[in-house]
Chain A
């Protein structure tokens, strides 16, 4: 069941009506769990069994860990935590790398949430271990079970006890987020996919310039696709009374790698920071160790994304880039130039362009079918090889749209909250909203379908 389908519309409508009329508490959570499992079962009913078993396993683990920490058996709790996490990783590795069975939908995402529940329990983030029902709802919560955003247990589970009721303001914001996400996915991402799929399918046929433009197209496609999905998920959760946080914040405005990871797939970046980087020692154990920790964290990120060598290289180079950037900035003396002077503005724009080019370059192995294909694409770009000149017009249109949005966001809005909701109580807000809905149907590209991140 896709977010963009009639069955989903029916599911969410029924759910909202039910949640409106039933009293809160246990019944509310049971309904949320049923809805989540119905949603998930529509993808693959067999995979639902795995989701359920893994959730129960996690809860038992968390309960045991909680019991041990309560009895001050820290060593045993730590060993159990590691054992439980190892089991989770083995399950993920079995499906992701062994290739014997098809990968269950969303396993990579809900496994991270399960680990979060275990780790947060170990860190005593909860007054008492969450109830089984709460844990099941948290791990299987349908708006984000397939492709995130990855919410930490300590952020989500407390919301179950104080779920916010649907108000007109909440409805307005949630629906707008959903509509924006649908527009990004159907109109922008799927239309760019047409060009990207075609060119990446036969890179030897195309000119270096075309391949470069297509790599830009993929950078845009990935952003619109994943940000679109995230917006829809966050919007649906918002309607249901939950705040999943933010997953993207104009990532292509980043000025360096650290900035990029603060803006791109924020929920994964913060998860990796909290549950990999910091437990490894973070920046507390000296420079050398910090660099190693950064590098290892990015390797984990690469491995999480996929089982091929491409992802490993992608993660490793991202890690290396971060390490070099961190080391380089440490070497530099404080720049005395005041913010706002032309020099700083110029260097900022230059940093943005260079960062984008680097991120864009690294998306090539991320997208290419094989390492060989990635090599072909990069070498053809660098040597400006002749070939078919294909300049897909939507790269320029959507690229310009993104630039304008970024410019407006940077100059007129709060940088932490750049996309403001429309005032639906005003006539112009209603007109723009209706125009977005009609435009989505007008310009939607039907044919690409699946969300890119659902394959991870």
Chain B
């Protein structure tokens, strides 16, 4: 009896100790990782959006305190100007790695005019890569019909013939799937679930860690996305026609100015040089985009120049490694400058 009491007392004490430790660390987690809850949809301008009018902290790669606007996108709380440019893309554009004002869309905003309204509206959402953005073209044009121009950011051109054709398949536009209407239709249970998830960042951090651990144990992929033989075969096949078809498709959807902003990945070589990781599709994009009156901005030269002159690497942060991950503030600035040049023409 005495022994049972001893064990029960210890189990309760350990349970309590664990709970206290958990609460303390959960509070600590708010300072570096408290992501906003994502709500998914199928008929909008992006695959999903973040919980509107919330704030998130992202400090695992770079550091950012994100402000989520009414539409569920990361933007400053400013009114949108009547004549604005729409910026689409994936995590690079969403920019949850650097302070909000230093993203290329915000820098461009400052360059274009006064900083009291949004001349550039950012709908970047993690996972919305080039092909995904194009598949949401109907949604983009439906949700933002008054945008003056559409800027599509991409860090790769490794879309083969099939992927280019697939990019034309539209997910459609459903006015009932805007952030506001979706938020209004959430049940109280769903609201509670969102609230609980938002208040327990430690659980989300541990879940993220678990996924990373599982990934680290998986066999690395042997396929090389930049395999020169594969791309040579692609370029000598129907690639050009597919790209031409895709650009024609974009132009058929809208007569607005369309800009493709391409920034290649890089690697730091053993000899100290910077290498651009590309599949060699740039000339095709340049030529075919021009044919369809689409602007194609290639950041390759700007990245190389910045590295050779000032040893600036466009990717990586002080809490990750140079050349890896997402674009940093230096690259955002370069991209804003290049965009500004094209928009001013």
11 contacts between A and B (CB under 8 A): A202-B270, A430-B14, A431-B17, A431-B24, A434-B21, A438-B202, A441-B206, A444-B209, A446-B212, A447-B212, A447-B216
Contact with A along B1-23 (1 / 0, CB 8 A): 00000000000011011101110
* Category for how many chain A residues contact B: 20 to 34
Q: With A387-B311, A394-B319, A441-B206 in contact, do A431 and B268 touch (Cβ < 8 Å)?
A: no
Q: With A427-B13, A435-B25 in contact, do A442 and B205 touch (Cβ < 8 Å)?
A: yes
Contact A202 B206 (CB under 8 A): no
Contact B25 A439 (CB under 8 A): yes
Smallest beta-carbon distance A302→chain B, Å: 26
**Contact count A vs B, C-beta below 8 Å:** 89
List residues of chain B with CB within 8 A of the CB of A431. Answer: 17, 20-21, 24
What total of chain B residues lie within 8 Å of the partner, measured CB to CB? 36
Cross-interface CB contact of A390 among B215, B272, B322, cutoff 8 Å? B322
List residues of chain A with CB within 8 A of the CB of B215. Answer: 446
Given A202-B268, A434-B21, 13 other A-B contacts at CB below 8 A?
A201-B268, A202-B272, A204-B272, A205-B269, A205-B273, A389-B311, A392-B319, A431-B21, A431-B24, A438-B21, A438-B22, A444-B209, A446-B216
Contact with A along B271-283 (1 / 0, CB 8 A): 1111000000000
Contact A201 B21 (CB under 8 A): no
Contact A390 B318 (CB under 8 A): yes
Distance of A374 Cα from B205 Cα, bound (Å): 38
Whether A97 is near chain B, meaning CB under 8 Å from some CB there, is no
Contact with B along A407-439 (1 / 0, CB 8 A): 000000000000000000001001111110011
- 10 closest cross-chain pairs (CB), A and B: A204-B272, A430-B17, A434-B21, A435-B21, A446-B216, A205-B272, A198-B321, A446-B213, A431-B17, A434-B18
List residues of chain A with CB within 8 A of the CB of B273. Answer: 205
Contact A207 B311 (CB under 8 A): yes
Contact A387 B321 (CB under 8 A): no
- B321's closest neighbor in chain A, by CB? A198
List residues of chain A with CB within 8 A of the CB of B205. Answer: 442
Whether A292 is near chain B, meaning CB under 8 Å from some CB there, is no
Whether A391 is near chain B, meaning CB under 8 Å from some CB there, is yes
Contact A387 B209 (CB under 8 A): no
Whether B29 is near chain A, meaning CB under 8 Å from some CB there, is yes
Distance of A12 Cα from B179 Cα, bound (Å): 52
Distance of A394 Cα from B61 Cα, bound (Å): 12
Q: Which residues A116-155 have CB closer than 8 A to chain B?
A: none
Smallest beta-carbon distance B343→chain A, Å: 31
Whether A171 is near chain B, meaning CB under 8 Å from some CB there, is no
Whether B98 is near chain A, meaning CB under 8 Å from some CB there, is no
Whether B313 is near chain A, meaning CB under 8 Å from some CB there, is yes
Q: Which residues A187-224 have CB closer than 8 A to chain B?
A: 194-195, 198, 201-202, 204-205, 207
Smallest beta-carbon distance A248→chain B, Å: 27
List residues of chain A with CB within 8 A of the CB of B269. Answer: 202, 205
Cross-interface CB contact of B270 among A201, A388, A433, cutoff 8 Å? A201
Distance of A184 Cα from B16 Cα, bound (Å): 26
Cross-interface CB contact of A204 among B24, B270, B324, cutoff 8 Å? B270
Distance of A386 Cα from B311 Cα, bound (Å): 8
List residues of chain B with CB within 8 A of the CB of A100. Answer: none
List residues of chain A with CB within 8 A of the CB of B20. Answer: 431, 434
Smallest beta-carbon distance B207→chain A, Å: 11
Distance of A207 Cα from B268 Cα, bound (Å): 13
List residues of chain A with CB within 8 A of the CB of B323. Answer: 198
Q: Which residues A379-395 have CB closer than 8 A to chain B?
A: 386-394
Distance of A208 Cα from B20 Cα, bound (Å): 45
Contact B216 A388 (CB under 8 A): no
Q: Which residues A339-373 have CB closer than 8 A to chain B?
A: none
- B317's closest neighbor in chain A, by CB? A393
Distance of A447 Cα from B24 Cα, bound (Å): 27
Smallest beta-carbon distance B342→chain A, Å: 29
List residues of chain B with CB within 8 A of the CB of A195. Answer: 321
Distance of A386 Cα from B308 Cα, bound (Å): 11
Distance of A204 Cα from B272 Cα, bound (Å): 5
Distance of A144 Cα from B202 Cα, bound (Å): 35
Contact A393 B318 (CB under 8 A): yes
